[in-house]
Amino acid sequence: DKGLIRYTDKIVKYWPEFAENGKEETTIADLMRHEAGLVAFDQSVDPQTLQKDNIKNNEVGVVIEKQTQSFPATGKREYHAVTRGWIANEIFRRVHPSGSTIGEHLKNSISDTLDARVFIGTDDEQYSPVVSMSKSFILRQSLIPKSLGRAIDPNFHELAGLMNGFRKIMKDGKDKPPALVGLDISGKLWNTPEIRKGESPSANGNCSARGLAKVAAAMANGGTFQGKTILNPEAWKALHAEPIDGILVANSIKFTQGGVAQFEEEDTSRTDGRSGFYGWMGFGGSVFQWHPELKIGFGYTPTLLTWIDLINNKARLMQGEVIKCARNV
């Protein structure tokens, strides 16, 4: 937004030490498209290092600097679910005139400006409680016919297939330590005070649905909402430019150079769903997306984390209904 970086720039332009072990050609766009070859590190990061002061002391940066890239056999793209945010934060704070982290900038320049409850790194007053859906609840619900009010989408057979998929992911990644010390497939670690207070910009946003929708509304309207601008027109265009297709978690998805997905859906027989939206989703069911054509900002944050829903289908169905309403106005 301030013209301080370009997505086509190599990361080493702003962070020379990043070049260690052959990473010198990686661009900011590569990172934002999940094509940096750094989906996992050779060590788990201690949650304490993610506290703001420790980030500024380069405790996360020094871990990233020594990493060696590894790419999948299918190409460059692989889901940097957690690491992308850590790397982006290191670039951001090096470029920001005051050395602010992404979490600090989000609060001071976006959340406060729009009066939105969106945070990366929260204190107890800002925290919105959530609860993970238990495995026993999921199993019991999968045995209930949908006609009798099953509370989850998959039936028992579909759930078994999903669990096999989870096991395959764990098996494929068994030679890599988890991103964080203490992290397992349940994701309960994300809901601990230590993690909430730290900064993992791709993974630990703590936001209200209304707050996300306000930010998304600004994104749907060229960077401005209710007369308040958080992104100028040129920066908005750059964020959405150069969408490139690639396989991500078994699906083909276009990512722009700024790292937001451009959604296209061929099957609209049941719902228009996400077609025309930009943005992404969060673990457990949350969604932060916007529709520039219809000028819609959409935010959804469940308090019961449905960790088995990898495509956040409940929100997708609601997005389809929102599109129908907008087109009928």
Phi, psi (degrees; rounded to nearest 5) at 225: -140, 125
What is the pLDDT confidence band of residue 166, given thresholds at 50, 70 and 90?
Answer: low
Q: What is the pLDDT of residue 251?
A: 75
Mean pLDDT of 184-206: 87
* pLDDT tens-digit series, residues 126-136: 666 667 778 88
Please, which pLDDT band fits residue 225 given cuts at 50, 70 and 90? very high
| Rounded mean pLDDT, 321-328 | 91
Is 182 in a helix, a strand, or coil?
A: coil
pLDDT above 80 (res 56)? yes
**pTM score:** 0.90
Instruction: Count other Cβ atoms within 10 Å, centred on residue 202.
Output: 22
DSSP characters over 250-279: TEEEEE-TTS-EE---S--SS--TTTT-EE
Q: What is the pLDDT of residues 256-310, one digit of tens each?
A: 999 999 998 766 655 568 989 999 998 888 999 999 999 999 999 987 777 777 7
Mean pLDDT, the chain, whole residue set: 90
The set of residues, in sequence order, having a beta carbon less than 8 Å from that of 137 and lying 6+ positions away, is: 151
Alpha helices in the chain (DSSP H): 28-32, 52-56, 61-65, 83-95, 102-105, 112-114, 135-142, 156-172, 193-197, 209-220, 233-240, 313-328
